[in-house]
Amino acid sequence: MGIQGHDPQRIAASLAHPQTSVECMAMLDLNELSLPKLFSVLTEDGSLDRVLHAAVAEDLAQIGDVTTTSMISHSWEIKAAGVTRQDGIVAGLAAISRTLELFEAHTHLELVAKDGEPCTAGQVLWRMTGQITPILAAERTLLNLVGRLSGIATITKQYVNEIKGTSAVICETRKTTPGMRHLEKYAVRCGGGTLHRLGLYDAVLLKDNHLRHLSPSEFAPTITRAAKYARKNYKLRFVEVEVDTLNQLELVLAIESGLIDIVLLDNMAIEQLKDAVALRDKKAPYILLEASGGVDMSSVRAIAQTGVDRISVGAITHSATCMDVGLDLL
């Protein structure tokens, strides 16, 4: 038996969600959506519920919170507040209501802050009133989600601030926590970042492992065939090609217009990036250039100042430190 009032089968049944059409998702410009709309779109496929379902299972199994139910009356009503212990950017508040619902914490919830807003240490992010047993059962999941997503939003904002005054934007990558991708990409937007492809299904990115076996004479014709095939058969956000030399870049820039949207400049030095921008401006100014590879806080501004349009930074997701958020009983 679960915590009082908990029915694991009912929880599982409530996870049934109509899935968003992948094609419809691919047609949306996620970077133009408001944060509330973006959260709705990214979680319509059940991605949030899958994370929460796992959280319920690993914290409660089919037994429940044995500590709380051993010493506290389930009917005891409390007031509690989510409080940040450090400065940063808030993300993940949009997930609180559904988290409480899945843990069957039927509370009165008041969101004091908003996702994407700056916060300071000691600031109240949300308040809630309800029965203590389900609130304490949901506590760690709430704090894990808000802490993780706020940490991503905070480091993203640091990178965004570092390149202010340039024309570049900060993009994330697929270096995300398994099962958490849509939520972590939402957090990147909360921090002012720009979303890249969601997965392998919504954009073409021809990388070195796709192209390594090609001779120089095969390089452009093979890319052309792949781009035409993909555009004919799939709904795509973009078609992107990775290059690691200026010679390869020149070959891609010579491909007929309308096939390639972005060229990824992999692990190029600053002077190479400058030369790549000059070459692009001369040959195919309609193509965007994205710098990638080993980007960190010490190098990102110099990279942005070369004139590239996008900088992809894996660190904003794979190396983000969780924000310290606590739940205080009032």
- Digit-coded pLDDT (tens) for 110-155: 999 999 999 999 999 999 999 999 999 999 999 999 999 999 999 9
Q: pTM for the complete prediction?
A: 0.91
* Confidence check: pLDDT of 10 > 90: no
Please identify every residue annotated as catalytic: 140, 175, 207, 242, 266
- Give the three-state DSSP class for 213: coil
Domain span(s) for CATH 3.20.20.70 in the chain: 162-318
Q: Are strands 310-312 and 325-329 parallel, antiparallel or unpaired?
A: unpaired
Q: Enumerate the CATH 3.90.1170.20 domain ranges in the chain, comma separated.
A: 8-150+322-329
How do strand 77-84 and strand 262-266 relate by DSSP bridges? unpaired
pLDDT of residue 76: 87
| 57/25: higher pLDDT | 57
CATH number of 8-150+322-329: 3.90.1170.20
The whole-chain average pLDDT of the chain stands at 92
> Nearest to residue 101, comparing CAs of 72, 138, 148, 65?
138
pLDDT of residue 68: 87
Residue 89 β-bridge partners: 118
Alpha-carbon gap, residue 97 to 128, rounded angstroms: 10
- The pLDDT, as a whole number, for residue 105 is 85
Of 41-50, 99-108, 124-133, 226-235, minimum mean pLDDT range: 99-108
| In CATH, 162-318 is 3.20.20.70 | yes
Is there a contact between 182 and 41 (Cβ–Cβ < 8 Å)?
Answer: no
What per-residue confidence (pLDDT) applies to 69? Answer: 86
What is residue 312's predicted lDDT score, i.e. its pLDDT? 98
Strands (E), 95-219: 108-111, 118-119, 124-131, 169-171, 204-206
**288-292 and 169-171 as β-strands: parallel, antiparallel, unpaired?**
unpaired
Round to whole Å and give the CA distance between 31 and 153: 15
CA 160 to centroid of chain Cα atoms? 15
